[in-house]
C-alpha cells in the first residue's frame, strides 16, 4: 500500500491578526485589563482555526471566563500562601533571629515554587489539550504530576553528576512523557527516541556553533526539530519535519528586520509567517483511521495552572 | 403550522466520533430542525433549541454552530454549513431567543466584524482614558497620610544608610528657621531637614516630610532667599503628596502599558521593549507636570510667608548658565528645563506687591557659607 503524506497548512493572514490585536488592545484598556483573558483566547482561537490537517481545521474551546476564574482562584491561593508565609516568618522570628527567619522562609518559598513547576506544566498541558479539537474530537493529556516530578529530580541530578552529558537522554525522557500521555480522542501519541543519537546531534551542533560563532545554532535547531518529529507517531504512523537550518536562519533574519523597521507594527505578519513556515514543514506519513477513534473527555481539566502562571507572571516571579 | 424556511445542507459532528454525518437543517423561530441521512437513505430527526447553542461563528465561507453536548458525555456537537442567509437567520433567532437583554446585546456585539468592533472600541477608549485620569489619578485621596509616612520612612532608610549625613547645628538651625516660616499652618506633616555631603546641586523631599539637602546646593546659593525657594518647592512636593501619587502613577502606567501592548503575544520580546519605552516616556511627562505644580505651589507658599520669589528665580537663572544638557534632551528629562521654569516664575513675579524682610541675619548666613566651604 502506498503511504500517503499529509501536510499541515496554515491559512491565517497578518491583517486579520492585526485587527484582532487592535480590538484586544482597546477592549483590554477599556475594561482596565480584565478583557486580557478573553483577548488571549481570541489569538489562540485564531491560530488553531486557521491550522488545517487532512482538509479539516483545528479548533480551540478555551474561554476567557475560564481563564479569568482560573486567575482569580490562583490569586486567592497566592494571597493565602503569602499570609501563611508571613505567619511562619513571625513565628520563626520569635524563636530565632530575624535574619535566620528570613533565610528559612525564603528557602521554603523557593522549594515550594520549584515543587510547583511540574504541577503547572502538567496543568497547563491538560487544559490546553482538553480545549483543543480536530473534527470536533478533543485532545487529552493523561500525565500526572508525580511522574513528571520524579523524572525531573532524576534528570536534574544526573545532569549535574555527568556535567550535562545526560541532558540529551533527559530531554528524550521528557518529550516521551509529554507525547505518550497525549491523546487524540482515546488514542495516544507515542515518542520513541534514542538519547545517544540526540547526544551526537548536540555534540556536532555545539562544536560547529563555536567554530561558526553561533551561526550554526540555526542548523542545530533544525536538527532538533527533525529529531523530535521523526520519533513522534500516532496510530503507528510517523511524523517528519522538512525544516532546514537555512530556512530557520532566513526566517529569523527577515522577522527581525521586519519588526525593527516597522517599529513592531509588522509583528502580527511576522508571527503568521513564522507559523506558516514551521507548520508547513511538518508531515504525517499515512492516513488516520478515523473509525477507531472515540471521544475521551477530560472533564476535570481546569485553567487553574494557567491562572497560577499568570499570577506568578504578574508578580514577576 | 410552521412557516417555510431555508433548507440548508450541513455536516454534523456528534462529538463522539471524528466521523461526520450528512444532512440538512431547517431553522425556525422556536427551534432548528436537523435531519440526518445515512447512506441507505434512512432519516433521523433532531430538534435543537436555541439555548443549546453556545456559539455561532464564521470562518472564511464556513459557518459553525456549536451546541452543548447531550447526555452524560458532554462532548459539544457541531453543525457546519456554507449558506450565509442561513447563518444570518439563525443568528437573528438566537439573539431573539436570549431571555436577558444583556445576553442579546452581547451577542450583537460578538456578531460585529472585527473592524466594526475596533471602531466601537476606539470610540470608547478615550472615554476610559478620561475616567482613568479623573479617578485613578485621584485615588491617592483614598490612602491615609500614614501611608505616605511609612513609604517615606522606608525610602529614607535605604537612601540615607549609604550617605554621609552631616549634623551641623548652625546650618541645620538656619535651614529649620527658613523652613518653619514657609510651612503652611494647616500642614499635617512634621518636617525634618537632613544635610548630606554631596557636591551636586540638588535637594529632594520624602513623602514623610524629610527634606534632604546636598551641601553642593547650599554652596551654590547666593542668598537665604534662594534656599527658601528650593525649600518651598520641596515642601510643596510633600504637601501635594507627589511621592505617593508618583508611585501610583508608575504602577498604573506600567500596568496599563503591559496589558495593552502585547496582549495575546506573551513570550514575545518586542512588545515588552515597546512597553518599557512607553513607560519611561509617560513617566517623564507626568514627572515634569509634578515639578511644575510644585514650583507654582512654592510661589504661593513663599508669598503667604511674605518671602519674595526673586531668590527662587535667580537660582534657576544661574543654573541656566551652567547647564550642559542640550535642549533636545529636555523631553526625556524628569524636570522641565531651567529656562522654562525661570520664565513662568518671572510671570508670577509680576503679582508680587510687597517688600520682604530678611529671612536670617547676615552674620548667620555668612557663618553658614563659611562652614559649607570647609566641609
Residue with cell 516597522: A262
Answer whether B17 sits within 8 Å of A264, measured CB to CB. Answer: no
Answer whether B125 sits within 8 Å of A29, measured CB to CB. Answer: yes
Strands B210-214 and B192-196, bridge-based pairing: parallel
Of B14, B260, B266, the CB nearest to A25: B260
pLDDT, tens digit (0-9, with 9 covering 90-100), for A135-168: 999 999 999 888 898 988 899 899 999 998 999 9
Question: Residue B1's pLDDT is what?
Answer: 41
Strands annotated E in A127-247: 132-134, 137-141, 182-184, 187-191, 232-234, 237-241
Distance (Å) from the alpha carbon of A310 to chain B's nearest alpha carbon: 10
Distance (Å) from the alpha carbon of A196 to chain B's nearest alpha carbon: 32
The CA-to-CA distance between both ends of chain B, in Å, stands at 103
Question: Residue A170's pLDDT is what?
Answer: 94
Cα–Cα distance measured from residue A116 to residue A124, given in angstroms and rounded to the nearest whole number = 12
Distance (Å) from the alpha carbon of A8 to chain B's nearest alpha carbon: 18
The residue count for chain B: 375
The series of mean pLDDT values per 10 residues for chain B, 375 residues long, is 72 88 90 87 87 85 84 75 89 81 74 80 83 79 84 80 84 89 87 88 86 89 89 91 84 76 61 68 74 90 88 83 56 70 84 77 84 82
Answer whether A295 sits within 8 Å of B19, measured CB to CB. Answer: no
- The 10 Å Cβ neighbour count of residue B321 is 7
Q: Is A264 in the B-facing interface, judged by CB distances under 8 Å? A: yes
Which pTM was predicted?
0.78
Distance (Å) from the alpha carbon of A304 to chain B's nearest alpha carbon: 18
Answer whether B75 sits within 8 Å of A138, measured CB to CB. Answer: yes
Q: List the grid coordinates of B24.
A: 440538512
Regarding an ipTM greater than 0.95, the answer is no
Q: Is A235 in the B-facing interface, judged by CB distances under 8 Å? A: no
3-class secondary-structure state, position A139: strand
Of A16, A57, A135, the CB nearest to B13: A135
Q: Closest by alpha carbon to A286, among A230, A244, A237?
A: A237
Q: Is A32 in the B-facing interface, judged by CB distances under 8 Å? A: yes
User: What is the torsional sign of CA B107, B111, B114, B119?
Assistant: negative
Of A29, A263, A295, the CB nearest to B128: A29
Question: Residue A220's pLDDT is what?
Answer: 94
Quick check: A50 pLDDT over 90? yes
Q: Is A51 in the B-facing interface, judged by CB distances under 8 Å? A: no
Residue with cell 450541513: B10
Closest residue in A to B132 (Cα–Cα): A32
Question: Residue A314's pLDDT is what?
Answer: 62
Quick check: A232 pLDDT over 50? yes
B interface with A, Cβ–Cβ < 8 A, is 13-20, 59-60, 73-78, 114-115, 117-118, 121-122, 124-125, 128-129, 132, 255-256, 259-261, 263-266, 268, 270-271, 274
pLDDT, tens digit (0-9, with 9 covering 90-100), for B337-348: 778 888 888 888
Answer whether B114 sits within 8 Å of A290, measured CB to CB. Answer: no
Chain A partners within 8 Å of B65 (Cβ): none
Question: Residue B51's pLDDT is what?
Answer: 85
Q: Does domain B8-109 have CATH number 2.30.29.30?
A: yes
pLDDT, tens digit (0-9, with 9 covering 90-100), for A242-260: 999 999 999 999 988 988 8
- A165 - beta bridge partners? none
Chain B partners within 8 Å of A11 (Cβ): 60
- Give CA separation, B183 vs A228, B153, B233, B236, B358, in Å: 72, 20, 11, 9, 17
Of A36, A293, A295, the CB nearest to B73: A295
Task: Calculate the CA A174 to chain-centre distance.
Answer: 13
Sort residue A3 into left (φ over 0), alpha (ψ -120 to 50) or beta.
beta
Answer whether B76 sits within 8 Å of A136, measured CB to CB. Answer: yes
Share above pLDDT 90 across residues of chain A, in percent, rounded to a whole number: 49
pLDDT, tens digit (0-9, with 9 covering 90-100), for A164-196: 899 999 999 999 999 999 999 999 999 999 999
Question: Residue A253's pLDDT is what?
Answer: 92
Question: Residue B269's pLDDT is what?
Answer: 59
Distance (Å) from the alpha carbon of A197 to chain B's nearest alpha carbon: 30
3-class secondary-structure state, position A96: coil
Cα–Cα distance measured from residue A120 to residue A313, given in angstroms and rounded to the nearest whole number = 13
Amino acid at each position: 500500500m502506498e503511504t500517503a503524506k499529509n501536510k499541515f497548512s496554515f491559512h491565517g493572514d497578518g491583517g486579520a491578526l492585526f485587527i484582532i490585536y487592535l480590538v484586544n488592545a482597546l477592549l483590554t484598556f477599556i475594561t482596565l485589563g480584565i478583557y486580557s483573558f478573553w483577548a488571549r483566547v481570541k489569538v489562540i482561537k485564531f491560530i488553531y482555526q486557521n491550522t488545517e490537517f487532512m482538509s479539516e481545521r483545528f479548533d480551540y474551546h478555551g474561554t476567557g471566563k475560564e481563564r479569568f476564574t482560573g486567575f482569580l482562584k490562583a490569586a486567592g491561593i497566592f494571597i493565602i500562601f503569602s499570609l501563611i508565609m508571613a505567619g511562619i516568618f513571625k513565628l520563626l522570628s520569635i524563636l530565632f533571629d530575624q535574619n535566620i527567619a528570613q533565610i528559612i522562609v525564603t528557602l521554603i518559598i523557593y522549594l515550594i515554587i520549584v515543587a510547583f513547576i511540574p504541577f503547572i506544566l502538567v496543568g497547563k498541558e491538560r487544559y490546553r489539550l482538553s480545549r483543543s479539537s480536530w473534527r470536533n474530537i478533543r485532545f487529552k493529556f493523561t500525565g500526572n504530576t508525580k511522574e513528571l516530578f520524579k523524572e525531573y529530580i532524576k534528570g536534574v541530578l544526573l545532569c549535574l553528576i555527568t556535567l550535562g552529558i545526560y541532558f540529551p537522554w533527559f530531554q528524550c525522557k521528557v518529550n516521551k512523557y509529554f507525547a505518550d500521555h497525549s491523546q487524540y480522542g482515546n488514542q495516544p501519541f507515542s515518542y520513541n527516541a534514542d538519547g545517544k543519537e540526540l547526544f551526537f546531534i548536540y555534540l556536532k551542533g555545539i562544536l560547529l556553533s563555536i567554530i561558526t560563532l553561533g551561526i550554526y545554532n540555526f542548523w542545530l535547531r533544525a536538527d532538533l526539530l527533525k529529531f523530535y518529529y521523526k520519533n513522534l507517531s500516532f496510530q503507528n504512523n510517523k511524523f517528519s519535519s522538512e525544516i532546514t537550518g537555512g530556512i530557520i536562519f532566513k526566517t529569523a533574519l527577515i522577522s527581525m528586520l521586519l519588526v525593527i523597521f516597522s517599529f513592531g507594527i509588522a509583528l502580527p505578519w511576522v508571527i503568521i509567517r513564522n507559523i506558516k513556515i514551521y507548520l508547513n514543514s511538518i508531515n504525517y506519513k499515512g492516513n488516520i483511521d478515523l473509525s477507531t477513534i472515540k471521544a475521551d473527555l477530560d472533564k476535570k481539566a481546569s485553567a487553574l495552572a494557567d491562572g497560577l502562571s499568570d499570577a506568578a507572571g504578574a508578580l514577576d516571579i | 403550522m410552521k412557516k417555510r424556511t431555508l433548507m440548508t445542507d450541513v455536516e454534523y459532528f456528534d462529538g463522539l466520533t471524528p466521523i461526520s454525518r450528512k444532512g440538512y437543517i431547517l431553522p425556525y423561530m422556536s427551534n432548528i430542525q436537523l435531519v440526518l441521512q445515512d447512506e441507505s437513505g434512512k432519516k433521523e430527526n433532531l430538534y435543537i433549541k436555541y439555548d443549546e447553542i453556545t456559539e455561532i461563528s464564521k470562518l472564511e465561507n464556513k459557518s459553525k454552530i456549536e451546541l452543548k453536548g447531550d447526555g452524560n458525555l458532554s462532548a459539544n456537537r457541531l453543525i457546519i454549513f456554507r449558506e450565509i442567509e442561513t447563518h444570518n437567520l439563525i443568528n437573528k433567532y438566537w439573539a431573539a431567543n436570549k431571555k436577558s437583554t444583556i445576553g442579546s446585546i452581547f451577542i450583537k456585539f460578538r456578531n460585529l466584524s472585527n473592524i466594526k468592533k475596533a471602531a466601537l472600541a476606539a470610540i470608547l477608549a478615550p472615554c476610559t482614558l478620561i475616567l482613568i485620569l479623573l479617578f485613578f489619578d485621584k485615588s491617592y485621596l483614598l490612602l491615609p497620610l500614614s501611608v505616605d509616612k511609612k513609604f517615606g520612612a522606608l525610602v529614607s532608610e535605604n537612601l540615607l544608610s549609604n550617605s554621609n549625613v552631616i549634623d551641623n547645628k548652625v546650618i541645620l538651625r538656619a535651614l529649620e528657621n527658613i523652613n518653619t516660616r514657609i510651612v503652611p499652618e494647616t500642614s499635617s506633616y512634621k518636617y525634618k531637614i537632613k544635610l548630606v555631603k554631596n557636591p551636586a546641586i540638588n535637594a529632594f523631599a520624602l513623602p514623610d516630610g524629610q527634606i534632604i539637602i546636598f551641601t553642593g546646593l547650599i554652596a551654590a546659593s547666593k542668598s537665604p532667599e534662594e534656599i527658601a525657594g528650593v525649600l518651598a518647592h520641596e515642601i510643596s512636593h510633600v504637601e501635594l503628596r507627589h511621592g505617593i501619587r508618583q508611585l501610583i502613577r508608575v504602577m498604573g502606567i506600567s500596568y496599563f502599558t503591559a496589558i495593552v501592548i502585547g496582549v495575546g503575544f506573551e513570550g514575545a520580546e518586542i512588545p515588552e521593549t515597546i512597553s518599557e519605552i512607553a513607560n519611561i516616556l509617560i513617566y517623564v511627562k507626568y514627572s515634569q507636570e509634578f515639578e511644575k505644580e510644585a514650583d507654582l505651589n512654592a510661589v504661593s507658599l513663599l508669598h503667604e510667608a511674605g518671602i519674595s520669589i526673586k531668590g527662587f528665580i535667580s537660582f534657576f537663572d544661574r543654573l541656566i548658565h551652567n547647564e550642559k544638557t542640550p535642549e533636545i534632551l529636555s523631553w526625556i528629562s524628569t524636570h522641565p528645563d531651567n529656562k522654562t521654569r525661570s520664565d513662568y516664575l518671572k510671570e508670577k513675579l509680576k503679582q508680587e506687591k510687597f517688600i520682604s524682610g530678611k529671612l536670617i541675619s547676615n552674620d548667620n548666613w555668612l557663618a553658614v557659607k563659611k562652614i559649607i566651604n570647609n566641609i
